[in-house]
Amino acid sequence: GAGVSQTPSNKVTEKGKYVELRCDPISGHTALYWYRQSLGQGPEFLIYFQGTGAADDSGLPNDRFFAVRPEGSVSTLKIQRTERGDSAVYLCASSYQRGSTDTQYFGPGTRLTVL
């Protein structure tokens, strides 16, 4: 079946611009996660949705970052006034959230480059 998809695969923007990154989770998955991965590092948690609500946004670095999931499916990560330090691969993952051995399935990521 279809996995997690993310668009665009690459995004180049200029410092100060606004960007939106989209995640389509696996159908039926109620939980959705955003992570950020810098070169040579492991993914870093940003935010977790259970259904439409953000259950844990403790990883968002500052108020320039915001994410929504209005219908409990597709999610959009929004970054305002981008800075060069925001350059990274942004990963989305989803899971069923049915039990203690639930697995997170990751998408291929969006590579964001801020010039």
Partner 1 sequence: LAKTTQPISMDSYEGQEVNITCSHNNIATNDYITWYQQFPSQGPRFIIQGYKTKVTNEVASLFIPADRKSSTLSLPRVSLSDTAVYYCLVGEGYGGATNKLIFGTGTLLAVQP
DSSP 15: T
Least Cβ distance, residue 94 to partner 1 (angstroms)? 11
Does residue 27 belong to the site contacting partner 1 (CB under 8 A)? no
Burial label for 33, CB within 10 Å (0-12, 13-18, 19+), is buried
Using CA atoms, how far residue 4 sits from 1, 43, 63, 95, in Å, is 10, 16, 26, 10
Pick 62 or 103: Cβ nearer partner 1: 103
Cα Dmax for the chain:
42
Pick 43 or 73: Cβ nearer partner 1: 43
Does residue 103 belong to the site contacting partner 1 (CB under 8 A)? yes
State the residues that interact with partner 1 by CB under 8 A. Answer: 4, 31, 33, 35, 40-45, 48, 55-56, 59, 91-93, 95, 97, 99-109
